[in-house]
Amino acid sequence: MIKVITKELIDLSVDGNEPNEVIKNMAKLIDATGRISDFEGYYQSVLEREELTSTGIGFGIAIPHGKSEHVKECTIAFGRLKEPINWQSLDDTPVEMVFLLAVPKECAGDEHLKIIASLSRRLIHEDFRGLLKTTQNANVIVREITESLAGAIAC
């Protein structure tokens, strides 16, 4: 089974003063693991999606995502920002944590929506958000996110 998230896909100190810069820096994590075939192509797919509506879901969290032919396998990168930024979130709360999703275009249906739904079910719990916000152990983050996605990923 493919690991959707690994410790190499976690950055606990992401630079960025605005969403596009954060997305670019986090997309570099995904690119460094060899999970995308064309960095610019994938990055543009995320920016195009972001133009439709903000992916700031509230609670200081954003879940930008791209479904692209440039993605080789379903991937999640997780980052904590050095400084909270405005993401035009649903609750107007500055974003502190980001989950960047990369989903192959050929994945059946709306795989990214299943991932977002699974993450969201856990993110409504304050203890889960608190753990993501404070732990310095990337392996703990990988374990917790992986458990959140049980049964959600088919590709």
Kindly give, in sequence order, each residue whose CB lies less than 8 Å from that of residue 155, ignoring residues fewer than 6 positions away. 73, 74, 103, 104, 106, 107, 108, 111
How are beta strands 61-62 and 65-68 bridged, if at all? unpaired
Does residue 70 have an active-site annotation?
A: no
Select which of 65, 70, 112, 125 is catalytic: 65
Query: Residue-wise over 16-54: b if at least 16 C-beta within 10 A, else e?
Result: beebeebbbbbbebbbebebbeeeeebbebbbebbeeeb
- Known catalytic residues are 65
